[in-house]
């Protein structure tokens, strides 16, 4: 965000580039990472400088560790420590998108001829030798699968699993594979086991969302929403505070907040727009069109 406050703190050194940012919160609502997506280039001092959109190969994704340093209200600086990046690259034949991660992994994505998430397919490659390899499976698999979903028809399963991807890691100890993370790129929420790489999972989530938005020509995950979002019901999303085994849940209790969040993800992650914080980008920020070009074109 362009800010006179930040400009003054930087001794009026020009601000460089335009970035779209999202804050990553843990289950307790604490800021732990900041995701930044580069959408524009140019400098801003004071005046009518207008930024220009960057080429597709320059629309990198950054993961920064830490929380915002607020200096005036909601105006703040992103943490300086970059712990992960994803860079678009030329996709090989039979694939529609490719991303190179700083972790050494390469993500290949195919959206098929349909804009539905049911046509998505993935491939993970690693340049580094490792004693494990990863598969990305569309939907909720293994321990994340809702037993009730198994009895539904395929059409209902696809609707329930919209946006879900399960990360399965194969090792010598688990030759048949073990699900170590579940992500929903449409709702921008992830759950991972302690031994899984949080940076890798975040890069996967944002890269898939960016690709789907670009291929479908629509803002699939609300990245272009420029309003403060809040919980539909304050405190209802404390789904990480207590974990109940599914066998202990009675059939008479229908509250989605007492069940695993991924059973009723749309309800648990529901958000309301706070109209009191609506803000349109200033011309020096590039306006809405700059960000639309950076996300969906």
Q: What is the largest CA-CA distance in the chain?
A: 63
pLDDT in tens, 62-121: 999 998 877 766 666 788 899 999 999 998 888 999 999 999 999 999 887 555 666 788
Strand spans (E) along 171-250: 178-184, 189-192, 229-231
Residue 122: per-residue pLDDT: 92
- If phi over 0 gives left and psi between -120 and 50 gives alpha, with beta otherwise, what is residue 191? beta
Q: What are 28-63's pLDDT values in tens digits?
A: 778 899 999 888 776 655 555 667 777 888 889 999
- Shortest CA distance to 100 belongs to which of 53, 61, 135? 61
Per-residue confidence (pLDDT) for residue 173, from 0 to 100: 86
Question: What average pLDDT does range 268-295 have in this prediction?
Answer: 62
Position 160 pLDDT exceeds 50? no
Is 124 within 8 Å of 105 (Cβ atoms)? yes
Q: Which residue, 208, 134, 204, 142, is CA-closest to 179? A: 142
Give me the percent of the chain exceeding a pLDDT of 90. Answer: 22
Residue pLDDT, tens place only, 192-227: 999 899 999 999 999 999 998 888 888 888 787 766
User: Which range (84-98, 170-184, 237-251) has the least confidence?
Assistant: 237-251
- Cβ(61)–Cβ(207) below 8 Å: yes
Token look-up 């999303």 returns 237
pTM score, two decimals? 0.81
**Listed residue (58, 44, 119) closest to 86, CA to CA:** 58
Among 7-11, 120-124, 154-158, the range of highest mean pLDDT? 120-124
Does residue 22 carry a pLDDT above 80?
yes
How many helices (H) and strands (E) the chain has is answered by 6, 16
**Residues in CB range of 248: below 8 A, 6 or more apart:** none
Structure tokens at 119: 């046509």
Beta carbons within 8 Å of 149's beta carbon, 6+ residues apart: 140, 156, 157, 160, 161
Q: Is it the case that residue 3 has pLDDT exceeding 90?
A: no
pLDDT of residue 217: 84
> Lowest-pLDDT range, 1-15, 32-46, 174-188?
1-15
Angle at which helix 287-296 crosses helix 198-216, to 10 degrees, equals 110
């Amino acid at each position: 965000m362009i800010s006179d406050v930040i400009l003054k703190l930087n001794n009026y050194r020009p601000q460089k580039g335009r970035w779209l940012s999202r804050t990553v919160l843990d289950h307790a609502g604490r800021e732990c990472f900041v995701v930044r997506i580069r959408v524009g280039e140019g400098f801003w001092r004071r005046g009518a400088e207008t930024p220009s959109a960057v080429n597709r190969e320059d629309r990198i994704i950054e993961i920064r560790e830490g929380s915002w340093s607020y200096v005036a209200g909601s105006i703040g600086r992103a943490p300086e420590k970059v712990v992960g990046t994803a860079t678009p690259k030329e996709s090989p034949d039979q694939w529609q998108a490719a991303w190179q991660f700083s972790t050494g992994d390469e993500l290949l994505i195919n959206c098929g001829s349909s804009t539905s998430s049911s046509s998505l397919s993935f491939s993970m490659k690693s340049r580094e030798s490792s004693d494990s390899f990863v598969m990305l499976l569309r939907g909720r698999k293994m321990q994340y699968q809702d037993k009730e979903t198994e009895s539904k028809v395929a059409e209902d399963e696809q609707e329930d699993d919209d946006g879900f991807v399960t990360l399965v890691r194969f090792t010598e100890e688990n030759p048949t594979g073990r699900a170590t993370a579940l992500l929903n790129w449409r709702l921008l929420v992830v759950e991972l086991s302690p031994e899984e790489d949080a940076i890798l999972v975040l890069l996967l989530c944002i890269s898939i969302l960016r690709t789907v938005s670009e291929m479908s020509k629509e803002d699939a995950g609300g990245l272009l929403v420029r309003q403060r979002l809040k919980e539909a019901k304050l405190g209802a999303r404390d789904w990480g505070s207590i974990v109940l085994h599914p066998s202990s849940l009675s059939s008479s209790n229908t509250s989605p907040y007492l069940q695993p969040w991924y059973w009723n993800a749309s309800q648990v992650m529901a958000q309301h727009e706070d109209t009191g914080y609506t803000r349109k980008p200033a011309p020096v920020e590039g306006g809405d069109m700059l960000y639309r070009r950076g996300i969906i074109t």
